[in-house]
Amino acid sequence: MTTRAGDWLAQASLLRLIAVMALVAAPHVVRLPPWESAAVVAIMLWRAASAMRQWPLPPAWLKVLLSLAAFAGVSASFGRVNGQHAGAALLVMMLALKLTEMRSRRDVLVVVGLCYFVMITHFLFSQEAWTVAYLLACAVAVTALLVEANHANGALSPRITLRMGGALVLQALPLMVLLFVLFPRVPGPLWGLPSDSGAARSGLTDSMAPGDIQRMIQSDEVAFRVRFLDPPPPGHALYWRGPVFTHFDGRRWSALFNGDDYFASYRQRVNDEAYEGTGVELVGGAVRYEMMLEPHRQNWLLALDVPSPRELPPNSVLTGYYQLVTPELVRERISYQTTAWTRFRLSAQLSEGARRNALRLPAEGNPRARALAAGWRSEGIDDEQVVDRALAWLRAGKFVYTLDPPKLGQDMVDEFLFRTRKGFCEHFAGSFTVLMRAAGIPARVVTGYQGGERNDVGDYYVVRQYDAHAWSEVWLPGRGWSRVDPTAIVAPGRLEQGLSGALGDDELPSFARRGRGASSLALLRLQLEVGWDMVTVAWNRWVLAYGPQLQLDFLRRFGIDDWSKMVLALTVLLTATMGVLGALALRRTRPRHAPDRALAAWRRASRRLARRGLVQAPHEGPRDFAQRVARERPDLARAVEALARAYVAARYFGRDEALGELDAAVRALPAR
């Protein structure tokens, strides 16, 4: 196909196109393999240089070879060419390769369409407020390119195209808001995401071994946010319950059942009887709260202590371990309200099967820990006294709470308790649980989060990954399952002040110090982070969490309480908005004339004279009218003659300097 002579791209247009492509693809760079990021940058730089130096475009065989190499590279990096990550990587690579054959404005229109599509893919990775703001700026830039591509007479000024692109995007915003608010929402996504959807995240997993939670401390990602509707408990009582582990293989703790097993075995209508069937006796201390949980790609939820049976999150159940699970992986941010009971009794009666599971240990291993626990038991003391002896032994053992514990060998519990004595919360919780089982006391490990950072301005708590924690639960006659946190014995500051209260500055990650001993610049940055987090909370609550229930609750305020009214309101408002925008567009097409300052001044003067009964006749020119006024009102003769003289000079002879004289003559006429 040949290209018309007048259809070749101007150099300025091509350089602007490359800049906009880089702007649109930039957020994907951190998600692409290093080789692809380098290749995309190299192609863009080469095309810009070729445009300025008039280098020829590559031959067809080379373009085919580059395309095949791109497919092979993406397949080798991701193991596939479809899906969320691989598909986005392939799309960005194809967008860059389009530069190798770009010759005409038709190619620009193809690239503009691809840029719009690449913008949409960013929402598969992030839906934060800053992402929307950034992509709105990208939409203005891409639309400006579209305006320029449809202008056949050479490159336009960037100021003109950006202004027109911004105007078009602003005109689309009312339609976007209407569709967002009124378009009927359905539960879940409108289409199934690929199997690799959702970025990999740090967080709790379905098992625990030494070092697992310790690695989470290196991340300041938000795990969840909590807003208490009642006065919150003190910081040391904020234990957010997650996965519970009862199986120990000598090194790793894990659960006997996962969330899918629980749904297959225990799914039922949640009511008082079913809740009491889990062996919970609620004593008091109810606290209502709202949680906004970040996606963690697991099928469990977090809750403070024991959740209320009447306010479990939708489509969730409470397992026999008092853990909330859902049938689907949590791939999106979810929000739910529930009530926590901070005083309760768990399983006052323990079944024989549950007792066996909570006492099971590997057949061999850790002989010194077993002997220590057997010695306590041989003293003839009861279970509660054994627990107290174990905590006292830890308190007197000069144990160290540290982020850098030594590596442990095969008998990890013995090595930790009797040799290294340095560890993190998973070391203390796991070893204490082994001691209890060796002493004949049913015990298990609970993982979750402890504490949280209060945002005083927004009145909510932020719990981050470095707040991850592990503790033990032991079963005691008459009391049921009771929480025992051996970490609190060794590092009591961990509960009151968080991680920063238990570790020194030399061990803490910089982000975990949260302004401790920081400079004024660092404190300002911390304040900005707090303010931005409030924006994020509002965005998550009113935009990302705007699902079917929130939509219905919001629209009920305006008398819209079902889908039929919702569709009717959407149709009427969309039609009205389109009509207004159409009328504004038609008004812009009307020819505009430059204002006639001389005529406007003459009309102001005529209105003043008309109030005195001196009205200009249709057949009278300005000079004739001035002469008649002079005869009828000699006191106005001089002012009217100056007015007519300046008006004729300005309007009929085009003398701009006469406009000033005309304005002065109008002001000289008496107002009344």
Catalytic center residues: 425, 469, 485
The residues, ordered by sequence, that sit 6+ positions from 256 with a Cβ below 8 Å of its Cβ are 246, 247, 357
Residue 573: how many other CB atoms lie within 10 Å: 17
Going by their DSSP bridges, the two strands 400-401 and 422-423 should be labelled as parallel
The residues, ordered by sequence, that sit 6+ positions from 368 with a Cβ below 8 Å of its Cβ are 411, 414, 417, 418
φ/ψ of residue 337, rounded to 5: -115, 145
3-state secondary structure at position 475: strand
**What is the rounded CA–CA span in Å between residue 30 and residue 8?**
34
**Do residues 236 and 495 make contact, with C-beta atoms less than 8 angstroms apart?**
yes
**Do residues 424 and 405 make contact, with C-beta atoms less than 8 angstroms apart?**
yes
**What is the rounded CA–CA span in Å between residue 427 and residue 435?**
12
Q: Kindly state the tokens that stand for 615.
A: 């009205």
Residue with tokens 């991701």: 78
**Do residues 294 and 199 make contact, with C-beta atoms less than 8 angstroms apart?**
no
**What is the rounded CA–CA span in Å between residue 220 and residue 454?**
15
> Three-state secondary structure along 374-443?
HHHHHCCCCHHHHHHHHHHHHHHCCCEECCCCCCCCCCHHHHHHHHHCEECHHHHHHHHHHHHHHCCCCE
Type of residue at 416: F
Half-sphere exposure of 250 (CA within 13 A, CB side): 9
The residues, ordered by sequence, that sit 6+ positions from 309 with a Cβ below 8 Å of its Cβ are 270, 271, 272, 274, 275, 318
Residue 196: how many other CB atoms lie within 10 Å: 16
Can you spell out the DSSP letters for 152-176?
-SSPPPHHHHHHHHHHHHHHHHHHH
Type of residue at 386: V
Distance, CA of 632 to chain centre: 79
Q: Kindly state the tokens that stand for 385.
A: 């006294």
Q: How far is CA 221 from CA 58, 122, 224, 304, 646, in A?
A: 45, 19, 9, 20, 74
What 8-state DSSP symbol labels residue 233? P
